[in-house]
Amino acid sequence: MGNILSDYGYFTADYYAISAHYFSLMPVQFYQVTSVGNRAVNQDSMVRIINDKYVLCAVADGLGGHRGGEQASRYFCQSLLALAPHYHQSMQYAPQATLTAWVGQAVDDMYRLFADDRVARAAYTTCAILYIDEQRVVTAHCGDSRVYRLNADKILWRTQDHSILQKKINRGEMTEQEMGAHPDQNQLTRSINVLKEKSVEVITYPAAQKGETFVVCSDGFWVGVKAYEWLELAQPESNGRLLAAIAEKVVLRAEGKSDNVSVQWLRCL
């Protein structure tokens, strides 16, 4: 246990890093939390950009062994962040094509960061990316990391996983509630690897509205969140303290088998 200092005070939490930011586009409020869970290494990575032009949030969940997975997610997020000055202006004119190219270049740069390290061949990562400006919301995702859009009444949408279980849900063979505890939950149909064809899915949505909440997270978070907790996260009084409390519950509910847990929360004010 340790004291965590954030922009809004001290909190006592297990292994959580909490941050808050405010900016002038809408404005928005932002918090993020990460935990190693019950794993030896945290293979999740998170980055964000919040300025007066746009918001970029991204979570990546590494796969393929401790070192390979951790490097894959970290290199991908680092590259995505470094490329923002080159790509963000084109998002105004061709958002889907631009974000697709942005992610593709990040994967190419990830390959260069691996250099001649042979671990790269077996290193994979998922990703969930949220881009917001005044005119639109754009998501890009691959695998089972997710972006959620909520208002105080309901989940408006979430990105659809690239997984065996998502296909079963789409065919009506299982329910959303059965997904997290299913033994095949981690069977993916897409992931990012430096040697594979890039397979990110990019979707453009209408502009964000005042009071809406966005959550970007790895599967280690969403598998353990109860339906009522999603709505709690979308209430006007919700904040970083609540986000950390729910993340801690997710770890505890796994009863010693928790995956890495990473989540970013953004509220349009």
For residue 27, say if its preceding peptide bond is cis, omega within 30 degrees of 0: yes
The three-state secondary structure class of 129 is strand
What is the CB neighbour count within 10 angstroms for residue 252?
A: 12
Please state the domain extents for the chain: 2-268
Is the pLDDT at 243 greater than 70? The verdict is yes
Give dist(CA 15, CA 172) in Å, integer. Answer: 38
Is the pLDDT at 179 greater than 70? The verdict is yes
Give dist(CA 256, CA 264) in Å, integer. Answer: 23
So what's the pLDDT on residue 75?
Answer: 95
Burial 95-129 (b: 16+ CB within 10 A, else e): beebbbbbbebbbebbeebbeeeeebeebbbbbbb
pLDDT single digits (tens) 196-235: 776 799 999 999 999 999 999 999 999 999 999 999 999 9
Is the pLDDT at 15 greater than 50? The verdict is no
Considering the four listed CATH numbers 1.10.3210.10, 3.60.40.10, 3.30.450.90, 3.40.50.300, the one that applies to the domain covering 2-268 is 3.60.40.10
- Amino acid 6 reads S
So what's the pLDDT on residue 227?
Answer: 94
Strands 127-132 and 55-63: antiparallel
The three-state secondary structure class of 194 is coil
Give dist(CA 79, CA 125) in Å, integer. Answer: 13
Per-residue DSSP letter, 199: -
Residues 45-59 have a mean pLDDT of 94
Q: What is the mean pLDDT of the chain?
A: 88
Give dist(CA 223, CA 118) in Å, integer. Answer: 32
Residues 6+ apart with CB under 8 A from 11: 3, 4, 18, 240, 241, 244
Residues 78-82 have a mean pLDDT of 97
CA atoms within 13 A on the CB side of 9: 5
So what's the pLDDT on residue 19?
Answer: 53
The three-state secondary structure class of 88 is helix
With 0.95 as the threshold, say if the pTM is over it: no
So what's the pLDDT on residue 182?
Answer: 80
